[in-house]
A and B are shown apart, each in its own frame.
Chain A
Amino acid sequence: MSLEKSDNPVDSQTFDEVDLNNKDFEQIEDADTLHIMNNQYVFIVLPSGNIKVLKLQKDTTVSLGKFGTFHTNDIIGKPFGHSYEIYDRDKIKVIKNVAFHEVDLDESDANNQQTIDDPSKQKLSYQDIEQLKKDGLEGQDIIKKVIESHSSFDKKTEYSKAKYIKRKESKFSRVFTPVRPTLYSVWEYFFAKNPSKIRDMRIDTLSQMLTLSNVRANAKLLVVDDTQGLLITGVMERLGGYGVVLGIHDGENHNYDIVRYMNFSKKVNESLMVLSWQQIFKEECQAPFNYQDESQLSGKELKFYLRKKANYEKIQEARKILWQGGFDGLLVASQYQPESILETLVPYLARSRPIIIYHINREVLVNTCVHMRISGKFLNPQITESWLRGYQVLPGRTHPSMSTSGGGGYLLQTIYTRGLLGV
């Protein structure tokens, strides 16, 4: 069956942008090859801290705006982790990364007693810097010039010197870092870009959902995901291509956009099945498929027919799997009322299996929690709030981050049980 599938074009409903038959995807089955590869998504962290996402194509150049340009062939095949500096317009060299430079505190007795806010201390004007660039100066050279032209740089404390250099680097440095898509980096990108699209779900909360639901190889899970596929992505990764995740989606076609950025192998992608809210109901008939004689079709027509047929059969298979029941858990991050989701999907769960419902609004879960208690089928439903705090850990300067996310959302968790009367 899997052979047959690999011969067919990929189900257009799932991942039309990823060519799963591409040879490169087979390579990442091997966890040892964590290299930058052709035809895969990669995040590029710019000196400004901004992140650019792109699908690498060999033999092309990528423009990073004012930071410069690089040839994709120069990074394809390299391991992830290193940074690169652009020089001579479009050439790159590896930069030795360090976590931080030790600051010698005893050497300096500088303080900010004499500090006055005076822009004229910087002798270089915007025009001067533009001229330097025209003269062919790049990255580190410009930063050096800017520091030299600061009349009271020496009077700064070591800390504020470091801060000043960092600020200038974010502007003039030409160092970029290709970052491997992982659940964390993909989340980071989408959370920064548009948190409401992933229902404001923070990574610690998402991680708790994956732990609490006991997702692992060979599990069979029901997931209601209105987070653009973020939750589904996490579940798919933890299944590792073993087992099934059945995603129940809003609208006629699913919108699990985030899945593709993980560069999942064909095997992992195949663990995902999808059904719409309409397709899960037995009484909602699916339009029967008009089977045709394949020998009568050719070329484009045949391709189109086979794709439609595969689509139809995949949905039929997903319905069969759902109605068989016995699912190992239910994960919900949805816009729809949790009580109605429970009523619809809980009958397909096996007993002693976890149910985890996420919401950014606690009030929604409070109602569901009371509903669960009354029903008697759910063991000790509990609401928890996720709390996360990041720190700066530079030597002598360890403190919590000055700004942080305001909240990570709430989880309602329980275990589906069988009551005394057998229900």
Chain B
Amino acid sequence: MTSFLSYKTFIEEGDLVIAYMSRENMTPLIMDSKLTYNNKFGTFRHSDMIGKEYGTKMPSHNGRGFMYLLHPTPELWTLVVPHRTQILYMADISFITTYLDLKPGSIILESGTGSGSFSHSLARTIAPNGHLYTFEYHEERAKAARQDFEKHGLSDIITIECRDAYKDGFGITDLVHAVFLDLPAPWDAIASAKAAFKQNRIGKICCFSPCIEQVQRACVSLNKHGFVEIKMFECLIRNQEVHTIPIYTVKDAVSKIKVQQDKKRKRNEEESSDSKAAKSAKIKQDPPNLYVSKTPTEAKGHTSYLTFATFLPVLDDEVDRVN
């Protein structure tokens, strides 16, 4: 079985392969030597893929095209996961992971699980000795995510529970180092999230909300519950398309006109004299090329606002007061 927590070199029966046709066209395949995968690039037998090295460029059986056999990673999984909900984007995932100070050993609370795409990233980062408690109130989604975690060797790292965080809270106290809330009304879960934090140490929380009104309400609630250092960010990745373009000069522009004039003159001559004039034998010289990049015409302009805050450790005298 392929794991998201370690690499293997060769593809075996039962392994997960990310079949890559293009950036926009990838699909997860579980190796079963009896099966064949067909797409517009041809026929690919699983039995041909088994025994190959991950990362191999694989020609189709009928020689029509090829695809790449990639080793799964949380980032590739994000691109192929069936879109059960809106998934987080790479820039957000990266920034949140750093800001929440995640590393091997971290204990995290996530709500909701959604497609489980971010859970994969989180589990990868906190393994082998950390733990992720993730909550999803949609029963079917929770079931599907649980199956994915099992198949991907993440069940030891992730505990998933089908639970309505607004109504029932998280049922966790004094345990986690970081909280990630991807909920429409995070303010209704902040009290419960606060209780989930390990009480004697500093912690970080992130609310992931697409609308500015959600951010404002979340901030008021975070402040009321004693969270400090409330910061908000937006982050994006802008693609740069790389091209090779010729750079012509004014001289080229002049000679282009001359060639046109030449042609015209010859055509006129042909019409009048009806003789077959030899083609202009001017050799076109290739202009120097320049490697350039440009941003695409249309790009992602917004994913969500990332609101962060710090949980303050409870002081000894506060503990006394509570008791």
Give the distance in Å from the alpha carbon of A102 to the alpha carbon of B198 in the complex: 27
Whether B104 lies near A241 (C-beta < 8 A) is: yes
- Which of A33, A79, A100, A206 contacts B230, CB < 8 Å? A100
Question: Given that A183-B98, A206-B98, A351-B55 are contacting pairs, would A217 and B127 also be in contact in the complex, using a CB cutoff of 8 Å?
Answer: yes
Looking at A97, A100, A217, A418, the one whose CB has the most chain B CB atoms below 10 A away is: A217
Interface membership of A228, Cβ < 8 A: no
Once the chains bind, are A351 and B216 in contact (CB under 8 Å)? no
Which residues of chain B are near A249, meaning CB under 8 Å? none
Determine whether the beta carbon of B75 is less than 8 Å from that of A211.
yes
Least CB distance from B99 to A in Å reads 6
Q: Are A180 and B231 in contact (CB under 8 A)?
A: no
Contact with A along B175-196 (1 / 0, CB 8 A): 0010000000000000000000
A98-B228 in contact given A386-B91, A389-B233 (Cβ < 8 Å): yes
**B185-218 interface code vs A (CB 8 A; 1 in, 0 out):** 0000000000000101110000000001001100
For residue A64, CB closer than 8 A to chain B, the reply is: no
Please state if B240 and A384 are interface contacts (CB–CB under 8 Å): yes
Residue B164 at the A interface, CB < 8 A?
A: no
Among A14-22, A54-62, A365-373, the stretch in contact with B: A365-373
**When each residue 21-47 of chain A gets 1 if its CB lies under 8 Å from chain B and 0 otherwise, what string results?**
000000000011111000000000000
Partner of A240, one of B57, B98, B103: B103
Q: Is the CB of B56 within 8 A of A370?
A: no
Tell whether B113 is near chain A: CB-to-CB under 8 Å.
no
B165 at the interface (CB under 8 A from A): no
Q: Does A153 contact B (CB under 8 A)?
A: no
In the complex, what residue of chain A is closest to B300 when comparing beta carbons? A387
CA distance A196 to B60 in the complex (A): 49
Which residues on A sit within 8 Å (CB–CB) of B198? Answer: 32
B287 within 8 A of A: no
Nearest-neighbour CB distance to chain B for A201, whole angstroms, equals 12
A207 contacts the other chain (Cβ, under 8 Å)?
yes
Instruction: Indicate whether B93 reaches chain A with its CB closer than 8 angstroms.
Output: yes
Q: Which residue of the partner chain, among B90, B105, B121, B128, contacts A218 with CB atoms under 8 Å?
A: B128
Size category, A interface: 35 or more
CB A350 to nearest CB in B, in angstroms, measures 7
Docked-complex contact A31 and B235, CB < 8 angstroms: no
Residue of A nearest to B124 (CB): A216
- A interface: dominant SS: mixed
A206-B212 Cα distance, complex, nearest whole Å: 27
A273 CB contacts on chain B under 8 angstroms? none
Minimal Cβ-Cβ distance residue in B for A33: B201
Tell me if A211 and B94 are in contact (CB < 8 A): yes
Tell me whether B98 and A370 are in contact (CB under 8 A).
Answer: no
Bitwise interface map of B from 49 to 68 toward A, beta carbon under 8 Å scored 1, else 0: 00001111101000000101
Residues of B contacting A82 with CB < 8 Å?
A: 312-313, 315
Q: A353 CA to B55 CA in the complex, in Å?
A: 8
B260 within 8 A of A: no
Chain A residues contacting B127 (CB-CB under 8 Å) are 216-217
Instruction: Please determine whether B216 and A398 come into contact, CB atoms closer than 8 angstroms.
Output: yes
Interface residues of B in 299-323 (CB under 8 A from A): 305, 307, 309-313, 315
Interface segment, B36-44, B219-227, B246-254, B275-283?
Answer: B219-227
Could you say which of A207, A370, A393 contacts B231, with CB atoms under 8 Å apart? A393
**Contact assessment for B125 and A238 in the assembled complex, using a CB-CB cutoff below 8 Å:** yes
* Binary B-proximity of A350-394 (CB < 8 A = 1, otherwise 0): 111110000000100011011001000001111111111111010
Are B95 and A207 in touch, CB under 8 angstroms?
yes
User: What are 18 residue pairs bridging A and B, where the CB atoms are less than 8 Å apart in the complex?
Assistant: A32-B198, A32-B200, A204-B91, A207-B98, A211-B93, A218-B5, A240-B105, A240-B129, A241-B104, A242-B128, A350-B55, A362-B240, A366-B293, A369-B293, A390-B232, A391-B231, A393-B215, A393-B216
* 10 A-B pairs closest in CB distance: A240-B104, A351-B55, A352-B55, A207-B94, A79-B313, A352-B54, A81-B202, A211-B94, A207-B98, A383-B240
